Structure 1
Amino acid sequence: MKVLIVDDEKHVREAIRYFVPWEKHHITDIYEATNGQEAMQIMQEHQPAIVFTDMRMPLMDGAELLEWLHTHYPNTKTIVISGYQDFNYVKPAIVFGGTDYLLKPLNSKQLIAAAEHAFKLWLDEEEGRQQAQRKNMQLNVLRPLYWDKVLSDLVAGQASFQELKHSLSEELGMPLFAAECRIAVISLQGADCRLLQRFHGDVGLTSFVLANVCNEVLAPKQIGFAFRSWQRGANLVLLFWAAVRETEVELGRINESIRQTYGVQMDMGLSLPAAFPEGLQTAFYQAGQGLNERNLLQREGRIHLYREHSEESGPARDYASEAQLDKLRVAVLSGDLDKMERVVDEWSDLLSGLPLLTESRFLQLQQEIVEVLKRWRPDEEISLDICYDSEGLFSVENWQDQFKAVIQRLFKGNTQAPDSQLVEEIRQYLHQNYARDMTLQHIAERFFISRENVSRKFKQITGENLSDYLTGLRVDKAKTLLQNTNLRLSQISELVGYEDEKYFSRVFKKSTGQTPREYRKQGESL
């Protein structure tokens, strides 16, 4: 609490300072003003919680000051001290919420009682304000998660539209009598270098930021809403309940906004128009199919419309024949690395010459390749990804390099020491769970070793204390959010694992030499 004493008589200000037991209430910041104008300047600079004010003063009297305080600082408690019992002086104190009206000369007991009454009122109200603020912060953090879950269930046919329609209308702007809808889905795989890497490979964080960009485009027209998907097959879903015939135009605007913000464009699967709400599940399926059946070799166009009759036919072996798989089996059995790499080169040439290669069929092909490799090294973890270039488009060359790297690793055998494997697993776990309350004991129980061993092994392998590593990871995530979002510090604090915003700020400054606000301001000026 800060206090302001406003009176043009110095001895009155001194009397208030002398009689009120400030130490008892832990009050150290006490300011003085000789008139209302000076008081206004102090209020704007320091925002005192309690104001003692005279009524008759030069330049601006107490009545004007009380009115100004009531308008600009309604939570401030005011105690009027006057040498006059005239109703014209009492009235402003009543109208503008004064807690007490004391007459001069001051009675010390009345002054102390009035001050302590004002202190208690302000503290009680401040506690209520803080509780409301904490509740609002929790709701603001949880609300996006709530809609992610509810809308994911809705498009998957696991939630009742009738129970949700009024909430959808009030909070998201959906018309109560919408008759038609379309759904688009986005997978972050194609965002590879330019977007996912910008957010350190964090799919959840990237989806969160991307949904905000989409909704900045959709919100002004209230034609739809983007949310993070809890269903398999998509990271982001865009539900359109209006202007469905112009959906492709709106998706183009969204993609352009993403390009301007992050330098990439996204592949989007798009459904046909469907009846609303009964067609939601079908539209969600169609959008996923549109994305899965897109031509990976296509270099132009990022919106992939669902096709009722696929243009391609035949199994995945149209692209990788049984003979090609047999070549890989023979090369693997021979143990000849050069022979295996030649098979990979042939496969890459085969893929490059195809007119059409859908994601779904390519994934099936990769699974067959992995099964062959697993028979060679059954105890190894083996996977192949769809590789993208810096523009987010499928790259046969990058896939070829990845395939060769996997074969070379399997050929040489896994020479990584057990301790190195353990530490790498711990690091991966920290990257996936940094937003949670993380203790050394929790990590020790998670990996079935003692706390001492966790610390020792982590320090031996990485040269860094585990707690310092986690702090650095959280600070890096916070830097990304500060530079790329307009989220409040309290929200960013919770997203990176700190419930206490002040503690988060201290940790951030200790790590970077700047407060979060200074870091964000510096980023805006670059």
Structure 2
Amino acid sequence: MKKVMLVDDEILIRETIRERVDWEGAGFHYCGDASDGELALPLIEQHMPDILITDIKMPFMDGLELCAVVRQRFPQIKVIILSGYDDFHYAQTALRLGAADYCLKPFSAADLLQLLHAVSERIDREESEKRQETYTAEKLFADLCGGLINTAAAIKVADQLKLQLMTSYYAVAILTLSSTDPAKPELDPVVCSEAGRWIDQQLREQLDYFMYKRSRTETVLIIKCTALEDDSASLQARVNELQLALHAQFNCELLLSSGHVQERLQGIHISYMEAEANNIERKMLQQNKQAFLQASADDSYENVVLDRNGLLDFLKLGSPKDAPDFVRSFTARLDGVNWDSLYAYYLMHDLTLEMITAAREHFQTSHRTEDVLSELQERIKLITSHDDCQHYIVALLHQLWEWRQASTDKYSDLIHAVKLYIRQHYKDDQLSLFDISRQIAVSSSHLSKIFSQETGQTMTDYLTLIRINKAKELLKLTRYKTFEIAFQVGYKDPHYFSNLFKKVTGLTPTEYRKHSSIDQEVPVSKGEGRL
């Protein structure tokens, strides 16, 4: 809130303004008042108001003199002059001395607040312009990722810096260099610099992006995308291709954490937060893996092999009623573990991290890994027996399934919209995952994953069954030829349609027409009947 101070020799005016204006409600802080300019100066030095309201005619030091002193000593303070009609030429003089505005007496509280808001906006605008004057490209990119600059200001700064910032879609990735030499875990600054330049040269052959250094070993990329496609898979593949050369030339490796593709400049912040969450999870997993391996290397601990993939699959697809039996079977090999050992602690910690990471990825939860893990770490410390271990894993599964349920509820409208769009446009032979994702305004990879996760089938499968069921209806109720039906349900190639029809139903279209009286409808998905 902007701080406001009042200077007026009439006590009634001071009390009226002080008491009748809802300062806090209007977004201001009334920090004090004085009866003349001389008494006001020490208060101004003490409180440093953003806006000073002063009458012109006062004893000892009048408003004009005060305005001149404030202008010289505190140029950032905006001065509003109170003036009567007879003193208007004084107000004009004050404006020439640098006063921000004037207010003619008599005035209401609403009049004063309107003027204060106008001056407040001027302060904000000048501060914003001052920041823009000192902006560098790196600061712009960091502020976009941090959500600290609005769209209009970002575009203006980018124009000043002659940066081609605007595009249709954006994604953020965090690249981290780490040493592969156990004897030298810290990378040399020169190596970091040289490796960073080499990586930049390699990646720019395929990607269009801006970048800034977040630390000596971390670089943030703001990738300009031309479509609502998630390029993280291709970026990861390219990073993997560079690993051998990085290891050979610089004795280091490159780790990638990325966010989803987003629309609009403000989406950069969302993608950055996703990338940062993935980056934190990766670091935590890596740190725990190192501790786990150190504990495993001690011969006094009995190492066990667990079906981790089976546990993660059960997390994604299992049900609460089956949890006790599954966990009993999963933990059978842990029966002889010494639960007072470091190995036991890091084993449970490692399993917990893997489950949380998988849950965040598949259930699209907003829960922060470090926040959840801090509580679970305390619960892990209380595990002192095989039974405690089983109870802990069952409880953790239930906790993460709450995320799954919330995710299902969250995406029900999205799935409904996708299904409705497919049912309305199945005749379009050009209908694709990209078309649907663009219509729904969600990245195609994200939408594909959510649809498969929530329905148990791909969007391609769903579209195919919609088309085949409609074709069966036309075969039953009309005398259209096979190629005409193929065209009506979205297939240009009648041979492809016939082969696909037989693959789904076990019969050719002609055979199906002959046996239509005994045909069974192919279900589109669980809980859905005929269209």
Q: What is the TM-score when the length of structure 1 is the normalising length?
A: 0.31
